Amino acid sequence: MSDADDKTDKKPTGHTLADHVYGQNLVHVHDEDSDHDHDHDYDFENDEVPLEDNPLWRQDNVSLTTVGIDIGSSGTQVIFSRVHLRRLAEDLTSRYYVVSRETLFQSPVALTPYQSEERIDDRKLGEIIDDAYIATGLHPDNIDTGVVILTGEALRRENAQGIAAVLSEAGGEFVTATAGHHMESMLAAYGSGAARVSSDDNKRILNIDIGGGTTKLGLVEKGKVIATAAVHIGGRLQVVENGTIVRLDPAGKHHAKRAGFNWNRGDTIDPAAMQKVADVMADALVAAIAKRPMPHDVVHLHLTDPIADFGRIDGIMFSGGVGEYVYQREQRDFGDMGPWLGRAIRARIEAGAFPWPVLPAGECIRATALGASEYSVQLSGNTSYISAPGMLLPRRNLQVLQPPFVCGDVIDAEKLAAAIKSHIVAFDLAESDREIALALRWTGMPAHERLLAFAQGIKRGLADRLAKTQPVFIMLDGDVAQTLGHILRDELEVDNELLVIDGVVLWDFDYIDLGRIRMPSYTVPVTIKSLVFSEDPRGPRPRQRIHHHDDHDDEHDHADGHDHHDHGHSHDHVHPHSHKHESHEHGHASTSRVR
């Protein structure tokens, strides 16, 4: 048999990280049609390259192309961005930080298409998304990461979860389907500019994002969103054409009833009635924000736990589609309550209803989409331990468990093991074969004795899963992943496939997607998703997203609490995370941080 025949008969072999010899041999090519388990950050074959394409420079600098697709109650829009991250080597850390962001393209804001009161028009929605990709000249294969976020009343539609999943698959390999009020509140606060103003001016700011179906509150301190909540007040809960109601969501009917009207679809209404309903909604929003104790009927308008105490506030900022009317930047009438509600809120600002100054406008209608595409990106450390990249990556929808264990000067392996085991039981995963990601906090010196005890606790805590030969996924916030992985593998003889990465802070109720390793930075994209379309009643209740931090501790601690559910009060809305099923596929809202 000739050499040519031999080559023809051989099956193409997969290309793995071993071909890089972990950075020692960076110049190589992929065989035609061979698969590979990592992404390149530069062209290996071109020796005549500028500094930006030099392998050593690219180890510390990574650029990601991201997309944010915001499907809201009123509008749908797509924003493409480029984010530049850099490893700050002078700090002796493997973590990457965002150093610049660039908006590549913003689509026009289109009205979210509906087939009926219950369904989003998936065909027309797909055309909106396709047009945005065509206009920007980017193919989904060019997208490194991104978020498809369904917000407000769009979450209630019966095909919302399926649409999010389809769009995330079509948008690019690591584009994540998302949903949830807390996450939208966070993204809006970043995208509006409130977080930047808070950081630059050292102010504690409340961002009030008023969309078509919901109002999202994001409290920002030192550039970080520290508390979030959502209220069922929005500008497109009622839609009127030629004086006739053509769309009326349950919450819109409820607000009309609070104003003394029994509205139904097909009713004819006059501008005076629109104004009265807008005034009632504006008064409810003022009460939700500025009155403590909060009136009982306003508490029931919350889709999450209310923020019990805002503390000191240096200023408030409005965003969202209705924010355009609050700041008098938009005058057009789209047949909904947006102009009426915006003017009513503006009148209350001028009357002094809010006890804090109103800051100048930042981004309004584009805030959530900008937050999704530009302000949700980080990158992992480059000191990971991954036993078999081709087998372990990529991975989707790993459930995160974050056992409550604090590293002391001396690490107690038995206490760590007990914390891991009890947490697995608490989430009803003791008998499950579902893969999990164990999120652990590491503090203190990386002495071998401490790391060995830490590894022993992990091995004992995961003993049942190790016995089933399940792969192990460990996420750390400290820069000890590679050492910990070697101890587990070489000293404690854990034979299971093992992935340990650092620079990642995760919480219970997060789900994560893991991308392929990026070379030569040797980092792993991690898309973090939290909050659900629907909620599994078997597990512990999710906690309200309230974060605390100080100058010396940039980690976030969640206060106890849970999403507010009241299914019996008069406005009869359906929560997207209501307890309807014994089990379900989790579709989680994303903080889409690529780490």
pLDDT digits (tens, 9 = 90+) for 101-132: 888 999 999 988 988 877 888 889 989 999 99
Across the range 195-205, mean pLDDT stands at: 94
The answer to whether 138 and 65 are in contact (CB under 8 A) is yes
CA distance 39 to 340: 50
**Residue 517: per-residue pLDDT:** 83
Q: Which range among 79-88, 455-464, 547-556 shows the weakest confidence by mean pLDDT? A: 547-556
Mean of pLDDT over the chain: 78
Q: Between vectors from CA 90 to CA 84 and to CA 95, what angle results, nearest 5°?
A: 50
Count of Cβ atoms closer than 10 Å to residue 585 Cβ:
12
If you average pLDDT over each of 139-143, 346-350, 379-383, 404-408, which comes out highest? 346-350
**Residue 214: per-residue pLDDT:** 92
If you average pLDDT over each of 34-48, 170-184, 359-373, which comes out highest? 359-373
**Residue 38: per-residue pLDDT:** 59
**Higher confidence at residue 384 or residue 175?**
384
Q: Which range among 285-289, 389-393, 470-474, 544-548 shows the weakest confidence by mean pLDDT? A: 544-548
Percentage of the chain beyond pLDDT 70 is: 72
Listed residue (19, 58, 13) closest to 40, CA to CA: 58
The answer to whether 36 and 15 are in contact (CB under 8 A) is yes
The answer to whether 214 and 180 are in contact (CB under 8 A) is no
**Residue 120: per-residue pLDDT:** 87
Strands 145-150, 61-71: pairing kind: parallel
* 63 φ, ψ (degrees, to nearest 5): -110, 135
CA distance 175 to 515: 10
In the numeric block, which tokens belong to residue 367? 């805030």
**Residue 394: per-residue pLDDT:** 85
**Residue 16: per-residue pLDDT:** 43
For residue 521, the number of C-alpha atoms closer than 13 Å in the C-beta half-sphere is: 31
CA distance 199 to 551: 12
In DSSP notation, 262-305 reads ---TT-B--HHHHHHHHHHHHHHHHHHHH-SSPPHHHHTTBSS-
In the numeric block, which tokens belong to residue 199? 């950081």
Listed residue (197, 242, 251) closest to 224, CA to CA: 197
**Residue 178: per-residue pLDDT:** 59
Q: Is 211 helix (H, G, I), strand (E, B) or coil?
A: coil
Residue 242 clears pLDDT 60, i.e. is over it: yes
Residue 195 clears pLDDT 80, i.e. is over it: yes
Q: Is 590 helix (H, G, I), strand (E, B) or coil?
A: strand
Residue 26 clears pLDDT 70, i.e. is over it: no
Across the range 568-573, mean pLDDT stands at: 28
Residue 514 clears pLDDT 70, i.e. is over it: yes
Please, is 166 exposed, middle or buried when counting C-beta atoms within 10 Å of its C-beta (0-12, 13-18, 19+)?
middle
- Residue 51: pLDDT band (50, 70, 90) is low
Q: Which range among 98-112, 210-224, 437-451 shows the weakest confidence by mean pLDDT? A: 98-112
**Residue 143: per-residue pLDDT:** 84
Exposed e or buried b for every residue in 467-487, given b needs 16+ CB within 10 A? eeebbbbbbbbbbbbbbbbeb
Domains annotated on the chain, with CATH = 1-36 (no CATH), 55-179 (3.30.420.40), 193-362 (3.30.420), 385-590 (no CATH)
The answer to whether 80 and 105 are in contact (CB under 8 A) is yes
**Residue 207: per-residue pLDDT:** 98
Dihedral, 100, 477, 229, 208 alpha carbons, nearest 10: -20
In the numeric block, which tokens belong to residue 133? 């990709």
Residue 306 clears pLDDT 70, i.e. is over it: yes
How large is the C-alpha radius of gyration of the chain?
A: 25
Residue 315 clears pLDDT 90, i.e. is over it: yes
- Residue 411: pLDDT band (50, 70, 90) is very high
If you average pLDDT over each of 67-71, 353-357, 392-396, which comes out highest? 353-357
The answer to whether 536 and 584 are in contact (CB under 8 A) is yes
Q: Write the CA distances from 8 to 4, 5, 33, 315, integer angstroms.
A: 6, 5, 13, 70
User: What amino acid is encoded at 314 in this protein?
Assistant: D
Contacts of 5 (CB under 8 A, 6+ apart): none
**Higher confidence at residue 593 or residue 454?**
454
Across the range 422-447, mean pLDDT stands at: 90
Whether this prediction's pTM lies above 0.75 is answered by no
- Residue 33: pLDDT band (50, 70, 90) is very low
Listed residue (111, 332, 112, 316) closest to 217, CA to CA: 316
Count of Cβ atoms closer than 10 Å to residue 129 Cβ:
21
**Residue 435: per-residue pLDDT:** 93
In the numeric block, which tokens belong to residue 160? 């919302």
Q: Using H for helix, E for strand and C for coil, what is the string for 413-443?
A: HHHHHHHHHHHHHHCCCCCCCCCEEEEECCC
Please list the helix, strand and coil fractions of the chain in percent, rounded to the nearest 5, in that order: 30, 25, 45
Across the range 243-258, mean pLDDT stands at: 94
**Residue 589: per-residue pLDDT:** 35
If you average pLDDT over each of 30-44, 126-140, 322-336, which comes out highest? 322-336
Tell me which H or E stretch contains 182.
helix 181-191
**Residue 2: per-residue pLDDT:** 39
**Residue 94: per-residue pLDDT:** 55
In the numeric block, which tokens belong to residue 13? 């072999």
Q: Is 242 helix (H, G, I), strand (E, B) or coil?
A: coil
**Residue 161: per-residue pLDDT:** 74
Per-residue pLDDT tens digits for 145-168 = 777 777 766 766 777 777 777 776
**Residue 474: per-residue pLDDT:** 97
Listed residue (181, 171, 120, 179) closest to 586, CA to CA: 179
If you average pLDDT over each of 211-225, 434-448, 451-465, which comes out highest? 451-465
Per-residue pLDDT tens digits for 266-287 = 999 999 999 999 999 999 999 9
In the numeric block, which tokens belong to residue 315? 């200023």
Residue 581 clears pLDDT 50, i.e. is over it: no
**Residue 521: per-residue pLDDT:** 73
Tell me which H or E stretch contains 79.
strand 75-87
Across the range 297-316, mean pLDDT stands at: 93
The answer to whether 512 and 526 are in contact (CB under 8 A) is yes
**Residue 560: per-residue pLDDT:** 31
Count of Cβ atoms closer than 10 Å to residue 586 Cβ:
17
**Residue 86: per-residue pLDDT:** 77
Helix axes 181-191, 367-374, angle to 10 degrees: 90
**Residue 533: per-residue pLDDT:** 39
